[in-house]
C-alpha cells in the first residue's frame, strides 16, 4: 500500500522549506507601513519551528488529491494562527516566557503592546489569505479554522489551562483541555488540507478526524514528556515549566513510563487507521511517526 | 428622493435592539465550557455601545436591497471585531484604561489573561459567524473584514498610534493613522452590508467607499472634539486622555472651531454624494447626521 521509495525526511524538509517561502510572501514586508509591526510579525512567524501544522495540511491535501499549490494558503494560515497563539501565550499576563524557538520571545524583542498587536494581526492575516484564494471550499476552511481558534478551540483551551494551574485534573479534564488547546488546531490543519481539493468525500474527512484526534493527543503527551525530560537548549524554550507551575500533565498524571506506552499505543492505532489507504497517505504516516518518535 | 415618513431614531433604535439579540445568540452561553471565558466575552460584547458599525452594515444592506436577516451575521461580526479591539486597547500594555461604556473594562472586571483571550476569541467568532451563513458573497465579506482588522487596518492604526504618542503629527500622518485605526472598520462595516445581498453592482460599492471614507474621518474628528470637551460621565470612558497622553488629534492640530467646521463640510459632502439615491439611502443619511451631530 505504501510507496517504498517515499522518504518522509525529504518530503518534510521540502515542505518545511516551501511553507517558509509562502509565509515570507504572505506576511507584509518590513518596509510597508506600519514598519515596526510588520517587522515584529515577520520576527514572530519566520525562520523557526518544525511547521508540524503546515505538514499536516500538505499531508491532508495529498490524501485528498489536492495540489501542493492549492494547499499553500491553508498551510500558511494554520502556521499564522499557531504563531499568533505563541506570541500571546508568551506574554507576561499569560505564561510569561522569555524564550521561544531559541530566540527572545516577541514581547521581549519588541514590547508588550507590539506583541499584542502582532498576535491580533496574524490572526486576521490567516483568514485573509484563505479568503483570497477564492477556492471552492475556502469558506468551509474559514469556518473550520475559526472554530478551532476561538473559545471552543485553542483560546478556550488556554483559558481552561490558566484556571487549572495548581489544580489536580482528572484524565478526562486533561484530555478535554488539550483537545481544545492543541487538538483543535491540529484537526483544523489536517482538514484544511483536505478541503484544499475542489471537493472532499465525507469518508475521507471522517478518517482524517480520527487521525487528527490521535495525533493531537499524542502530540501533547510527547510535549509533556519532553518538558519533563529534555533541557532548555534542546527544546528551544524553557524546560521543566510544567512542574514549576504545578500544571497537570500526562506525566504527572500517568507517570513517565505509562505516558510513553500511551504514545506507542496511539501510534499503532493510527497506522491501523491508515492501513486502508494507498501511498497518498504516506505523508500522514510519516508525520505520525515523527510526532510519536520525537527523541525522549 | 427621501421618504418623509422615515424616522432615523426609530430605525436606529430598532436595529440596535435587533443586533443586540443577534449578538446574544452568537456569543456562546455562560454555561458553555470554558465558562469564565464565555462570561467575559458576553461582558465585553453585550449591553453597551451605540452599535454605529452594525447600523452602517444594516444601512449598507438596505441600499443594496438585502434583507435585514441576511445582514445579521455581518452586523454582528463588525461589532465583535470592534469589541475585541476595545478589550485589547484598554489593557495595561496598551491604553491602560479602567473604564469602558460606563463599566469597568474587561481586564479590570476579570484579569489581563482573560481579557487577552476574550479579544482573541471574539476575533475568531466574527469570521466564524460570517462563514456559517454560506451566503453567496460571504468569502468576499471575510476578505474585506480581515483586511480591515489586520496590520494594514485597525491593528496597524493602533501600532502607528502607539508610536506617535508625544510626537506632533502632520495632518496627512494623522489622517493615515485614523484611516487605518477607525476608518478601515467603518468602511468594512458598510461594505459588508452591501455584500450581504446576493450580488452587488460595482457602482454601489464605489459610492459606499466614498461614503465610508467621509464618515470614518468625521467619526474621528467628532471623537477628538468630544474627548476635548465632554466629561467622563457623558462619554462613558475617560475624557481628556488625548491631551494627557500628548496625542496628536484633530483638535490639537486644527483647533476646536476649525475641527467643527471640518465635520460640517464632511456632512454636506456626504449628503451631496447620496443625492442620487432614493429612500433606500435614508438610513445612510440618518447615520451621517447622527455621527456629525453628536452633541458638542
Distance from CA of A285 to the nearest CA of B (A): 31
Banded model confidence at residue B296, pLDDT cuts 50, 70, 90: low
**Is B155's CB within 8 Å of A113's CB?**
no
Distance from CA of A192 to the nearest CA of B (A): 14
Banded model confidence at residue B169, pLDDT cuts 50, 70, 90: confident
ipTM above 0.90, yes or no: yes
Q: Look up residue B103 and give its DSSP letter.
A: E
Query: For residue A47, is pLDDT > 90?
Result: no
What is the interface size between A and B, counted as CB pairs within 8 Å? 162
Query: For residue B16, is pLDDT > 90?
Result: yes
**Is A34's CB within 8 Å of B160's CB?**
yes
* pLDDT in the model for residue B295: 58
Q: Cβ contacts (< 8 Å) between A156 and chain B: which residues?
A: 33-34, 37, 121
Nearest-by-CA chain A residue for B164: A34
C-alpha cell of residue A179: 483537545
* pLDDT in the model for residue B156: 96
Interface test with A, best of B35, B159, B184, B245 (most A CBs within 10 A): B159
H or E stretch covering B177: helix B171-178
Q: Taking residues B147-172, what's their average pLDDT?
A: 91
Whether A2 is in a domain gets the answer no
Nearest-by-CA chain B residue for A163: B36
Could you tell me whether strands B99-100 and A103-104 are parallel, antiparallel, or unpaired per DSSP bridges? Answer: unpaired
CB atoms closer than 10 angstroms to residue B47: 11
Q: What percent of chain B has pLDDT over 90?
A: 79
Banded model confidence at residue B167, pLDDT cuts 50, 70, 90: confident
> CA–CA separation, A83 vs A132, rounded Å?
20
Mean pLDDT of chain A: 93
Interval A62-82: pLDDT, tens = 999 999 999 999 999 999 999
C-alpha cell of residue A262: 500511551
Whether A266 is in a domain gets the answer yes
Whether B68 is in a domain gets the answer yes
* pLDDT in the model for residue B271: 96
Burial letters for B72-91: b for 16+ Cβ neighbours within 10 Å, e otherwise?
bbbbbbbbbbbbbbbbbbbb
Whether B269 is in a domain gets the answer yes
Minimum-distance CB partner of B146 among A41, A131, A159: A131
Distance from CA of B124 to the nearest CA of A (A): 5
> CA–CA separation, B293 vs B296, rounded Å?
8
Banded model confidence at residue B160, pLDDT cuts 50, 70, 90: very high
Banded model confidence at residue A296, pLDDT cuts 50, 70, 90: low
Mean pLDDT of chain B: 93
* pLDDT in the model for residue A237: 66
CB atoms closer than 10 angstroms to residue A163: 16
CATH number of residue A265's parent domain: 1.10.600.10
Distance from CA of B279 to the nearest CA of A (A): 33
Q: Taking residues A192-203, what's their average pLDDT?
A: 97
> CA–CA separation, A40 vs A88, rounded Å?
13
Minimum-distance CB partner of A139 among B139, B147, B158: B139
> CA–CA separation, B64 vs B140, rounded Å?
15
Taking CA atoms, B78 is separated from A48, A50, B55, B71, B123, in Å, by 33, 35, 10, 11, 9
Q: Taking residues A176-184, what's their average pLDDT?
A: 92
Taking CA atoms, A291 is separated from A41, A55, A114, A210, A215, in Å, by 27, 11, 33, 16, 8
Interval A22-44: pLDDT, tens = 999 999 999 998 999 999 999 99
Q: Cβ contacts (< 8 Å) between B31 and chain A: which residues?
A: none
**Is B37's CB within 8 Å of A123's CB?**
no
Range of the domain at A167: 8-292
pTM given for the model: 0.94
Distance from CA of B128 to the nearest CA of A (A): 5
Whether A1 is in a domain gets the answer no
Minimum-distance CB partner of A128 among B33, B36, B150: B150
Banded model confidence at residue A293, pLDDT cuts 50, 70, 90: confident
**Is B131's CB within 8 Å of A143's CB?**
yes
Q: Cβ contacts (< 8 Å) between A158 and chain B: which residues?
A: 117
Whether B2 is in a domain gets the answer no
On the 0-12 / 13-18 / 19+ scale of CB atoms within 10 A, A29 is exposed
Q: Do residues B80 and B51 make contact, with C-beta atoms less than 8 angstroms apart? A: no
Interval B231-279: pLDDT, tens = 766 666 676 677 767 778 899 889 999 999 999 999 999 999 999 999 9
Nearest-by-CA chain A residue for B91: A113
Q: Cβ contacts (< 8 Å) between A38 and chain B: which residues?
A: 151
Distance from CA of B238 to the nearest CA of A (A): 20
Whether A3 is in a domain gets the answer no
> CA–CA separation, A171 vs A227, rounded Å?
18
Split into its structural domains, chain A has a count of 1
Interval A75-118: pLDDT, tens = 999 999 999 999 999 999 999 999 998 899 999 999 999 999 99
Q: What angle do CA A195, A199, A201 make, to 5 degrees?
A: 90
Whether B181 is in a domain gets the answer yes
Amino acid at each position: 500500500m505504501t510507496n517504498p521509495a517515499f522518504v518522509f525526511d525529504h518530503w518534510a524538509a521540502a515542505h518545511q522549506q516551501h511553507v517558509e517561502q509562502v509565509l515570507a510572501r504572505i506576511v507584509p514586508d518590513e518596509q510597508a507601513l506600519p514598519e515596526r509591526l510588520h517587522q515584529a510579525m515577520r520576527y514572530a512567524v519566520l525562520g523557526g519551528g518544525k511547521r508540524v501544522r503546515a505538514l499536516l495540511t500538505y499531508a491532508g491535501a495529498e490524501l485528498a488529491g489536492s495540489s501542493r499549490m492549492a494547499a499553500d494558503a491553508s498551510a500558511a494560515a494554520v502556521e499564522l494562527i499557531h504563531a499568533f497563539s505563541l506570541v500571546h501565550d508568551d506574554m507576561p499576563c499569560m505564561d510569561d516566557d522569555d524564550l521561544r524557538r531559541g530566540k527572545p520571545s516577541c514581547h521581549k524583542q519588541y514590547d508588550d503592546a507590539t506583541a499584542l498587536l502582532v498576535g491580533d494581526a496574524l490572526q486576521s492575516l490567516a483568514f485573509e489569505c484563505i479568503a483570497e484564494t477564492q477556492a471552492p471550499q475556502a469558506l468551509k476552511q474559514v469556518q473550520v479554522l475559526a472554530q478551532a481558534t476561538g473559545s471552543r478551540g485553542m483560546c478556550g483551551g488556554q483559558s481552561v489551562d490558566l484556571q487549572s494551574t495548581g489544580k489536580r485534573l482528572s484524565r478526562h479534564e486533561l484530555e478535554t483541555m488539550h483537545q481544545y488547546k492543541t487538538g483543535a488546531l491540529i484537526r483544523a490543519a489536517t482538514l484544511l488540507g483536505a478541503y484544499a481539493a475542489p471537493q472532499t468525500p465525507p469518508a475521507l474527512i471522517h478518517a482524517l478526524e480520527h487521525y487528527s484526534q490521535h495525533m493531537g493527543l499524542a502530540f501533547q503527551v510527547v510535549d509533556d514528556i519532553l518538558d519533563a525530560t529534555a533541557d532548555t537548549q534542546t527544546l528551544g524554550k524553557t524546560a521543566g515549566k510544567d512542574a514549576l507551575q504545578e500544571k497537570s500533565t500526562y506525566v504527572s498524571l500517568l507517570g513517565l513510563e505509562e505516558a510513553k506506552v500511551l504514545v506507542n499505543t496511539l501510534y499503532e492505532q493510527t497506522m491501523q487507521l491508515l492501513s486502508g489507504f494507498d501511498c497518498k497517505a504516506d505523508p500522514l504516516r510519516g508525520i505520525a511517526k515523527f510526532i510519536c518518535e520525537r527523541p525522549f
